[in-house]
Amino acid sequence: MLERLNLRRRLLLFFAAVAVGGSAAIGLGAWVAQRHMAEGAAGGAFVQAALIGIFGLLAVVVWVWLLFDEHVGRALIRLAAGLRSQAHAEAAGRFDAAPGRYLGDLGPAASALCERLAATRAELGEAVARETGRLQSEKDRLETLLSDVPAGVLICSTKHHLVFYNGPAADLLGAAVGPGLSRNVFDYLRDAPLRHAHERLTAGGDAEAVSDLTVATADGARILSGRMRLLDGEAGGYVLTLRDVTADLAAHAGQDRLLQEVFDRIRRPAANLLSVTGVLAEDRDNAALGQALADEAGALARSVRDLAERYEVSRGNWAALPATRSADLLDGCKARLLAGGIDLAAAPGEELILRCDGFEIVALVCAVARRLAASGDAGAFTLGVSGEAAGALVELGWQGRPLAIGRLESWLSEPVDPAMPDLTGRGVLATHATECWPEPAEGGGRLRLPIRSARAAGRHVPAIRRRVVYDFDLLFKSGDAALADTPLDDLVYVVFDSETTGLLPDEGDELCQIAGLRLVNGRRVAGEVFDTLVNPGRPIPPRATEVHGITDAMVADAPPVAEAVTRFGDFAQGAVLIAHNAPFDMAFLRRQAAVTGIAFDNPVLDTVLLSAVVYGRTETHSLDALTARLGVTIPEEARHTALGDTIATADAFLRLLPMLKARGLVTFGDVLTEVRKHGRLLADLNA
């Protein structure tokens, strides 16, 4: 019956209860006083009556206040929090009007408003989706093109913070946890070459200028050749393209060392030979000198032979030869010979990727085939490519007379193509550090040409990560404000969660899983995720396995606690940490400080306290309750997994952010001041 009364009448009932209760208390006091007066105790009767009236009135007021607080005050707070969720967190379809059941039409009116808001959002969303579909399609095509660029590409702000990187760049930087948006590029590359190149470009004032540079990764494991160009526009920043030249530099260094050794090893025998021959010219009958001459000549010959063999082995590493598919090489030979009226049957075989200049090899093979056909000694040509050890073997076969070695040698001294008179067959072989030779074959002959490096197509191919990560709004972030004055949207967050062997880190319980993800510019960054099982160094109790599903067998090969915590510390460097019931997780991380050297002194936000700021302390603030209020769904299979709970916490935080800003909590300092008022809540939770 009360729920059918309007709000004004319900408020009237509260005051009527005060009036009736107060009157009853006074009446009771008067009745007691009258009884005592009849018995002749007038003075005590009046005092007793006054006390009964006062305490009775106080009891009535407290009782009415409790009713008013429960059915009006708290109900209004809950309705306001629900409306704020609808307005800012977009928890469509989840507005709960039940707290307003005693507030008359306010609950239904709020429900109707939320339903209309949800419908309007849906209509607006459809319109925006239609209008942005074409732009999204173009954006996806552009991302696909950029992801296929084989060079590493970075875009950095004027503060040298990353705002763009592609898959090859992530591979080149070589960091254990990978690059991250808004992180300093000097965390991955030595700073001096980049600073000098940037200073040269900014001092020159030419927007079209580029600066070539060579830079090492921060760990010194790789040497990268790069090119820097400034970005146009007021945002500033620069584009950096990178290529790994570590192997090239090593090959050239090996070439220099070999040449130095050539001179050192030949110089002494040559000097000795010169001395011996001088003495021998004066004394032709001295047998000892003849033997010495023979020994020195033999030593010199052996040195020359040894050095020549090493030169043949290593010289192929000095030329940057492209990758050529065996099928393309066969097809190129067939097309070129067919154009000259020579039929060639290509023998299909295993698809190989050859490290060779396909044009030069095709030109050499076709030159030999054309000369054989022109001589009239050969016909019915076949060509095949087969794998051989770490390389491959190109084999040209024919019916007719075998080819003499001397004849082949004369052909190799001639140009392989009239259009390129400087390119001889011998030059092609020298470029590829190989030789070719003729052999007799059944019914004819064949020419064999080894390729030193080859691999099977489709296997052992280094994968190019087809993705690009970027947020160009970061170009406009100054990042100069103190932490307390920094707007919430300008901070970088790492949301994390852990699973453990138990709840008591001080009594030996340890981590068995850590997961985290980065939030930059108010959004989750795809690919910037940390997730690892951890070997706790102790058995995982069955009761813990029942919660998170992690067994001893699953963590047997996982990194130990110190290593996993160190890697997570690198991942979270410079970010604000966010967790649900953060003191619990932080205790497990900080107890490793003596081993890892990482203090985890990052600023920390707790979504339990943020929930209390938005919804009030009297609500339930578990992760399940918070995500349910905000419309965040946690798949059952992901609940109580570190990564699943991390994603849920991150989504909840992103929906709490606009609600905090709507309450006037705009900067990190504003939020920190507010959450400190609810610190007792965590103490009660972890008690």
Per-residue pLDDT reduced to its tens digit, 1-39? 555 554 556 656 667 677 777 677 676 766 766 666 666
pLDDT for 488 equals 92
pLDDT in tens, 427-449: 898 888 889 999 998 889 999 99
- Quickly state the pLDDT bin for 397 (edges 50, 70, 90): very high
- pLDDT for res 24: 73
Banded model confidence at residue 684, pLDDT cuts 50, 70, 90: low
Q: What is the mean pLDDT of residues 497-517?
A: 93
d(CA 432, CA 452): 8
Stretch 376-387: mean pLDDT = 88
Question: What mean pLDDT comes out for the span 196-213?
Answer: 83
Minimal CA–CA distance to 608: which of 522, 513, 678?
678
What pLDDT score was predicted for residue 4?
Answer: 56
> What pLDDT sits at residue 320?
62
Task: Please give the pLDDT value at position 97.
Answer: 66
What confidence score (pLDDT) does residue 221 get?
83
Beta bridge partners of 456: 352
Alpha carbons 154 and 181: distance in angstroms, whole number: 11
**What's the order of all strands across the beta sheet hosting 378-388?**
344-347, 378-388, 391-400, 444-451, 437-441
Single-letter code of the amino acid located at 135: L
Active centre residues (catalytic): 640
Whole-angstrom Cα distance, residue 529 to residue 567?
12
Q: What angle do CA 601, 602, 605 make, to 5 degrees?
A: 125
> Residue 627's CB: how many other CB atoms inside 10 A?
22
Query: Which of 140-154, 202-216, 285-299, 638-652 comes out lowest in average pLDDT?
Result: 285-299
* CA–CA dist 471, 230 (Å, integer): 17
Residue 463: the pLDDT is 45
pLDDT at residue 459, as a whole number: 47
* Rounded CA separation 121/681 (Å): 35
Query: DSSP of 431-486, one letter per residue?
Result: HTT---EEEEETTEEEEEEEES-EEETTSSPPPP---EEE-GGGGG----S-GGGS
| Distance separating alpha carbons of residues 70 and 76, to the nearest angstrom | 9
| Tens of pLDDT, residues 564-609 | 999 999 999 999 999 999 999 999 999 999 899 999 999 999 999 9
User: Exposed, middle or buried: residue 367 (CB in 10 Å: 0-12, 13-18, 19+)?
Assistant: buried
DSSP letter at 345 equals: E
Please count the residues of the chain.
Answer: 687
Q: What share of the chain is helix, strand, coil (3-state, %, to 5)?
A: 55, 20, 25
Question: Do 157 and 194 meet the contact criterion of CB atoms below 8 Å apart?
Answer: no
Residue 472 above 70 pLDDT? yes
**CA dihedral sign, ordered 457, 458, 460, 463:** positive
Per-residue pLDDT at 461: 44
With pLDDT > 70 as the criterion, what percentage of the chain qualifies?
72
**Does residue 176 have a pLDDT over 50?**
yes
Q: What is the pLDDT of residue 240?
A: 93
pLDDT at 163 over 70: yes
Beta strands 378-388 and 344-347: pairing type? parallel
pLDDT value at 259 more than 90? no
Q: What whole-number distance in Å separates Cα of residue 233 and Cα of residue 239?
A: 13
Phi, psi of 435 (to 5 degrees): -135, 165
- For residue 210, give the H/E element and its range: strand 210-216
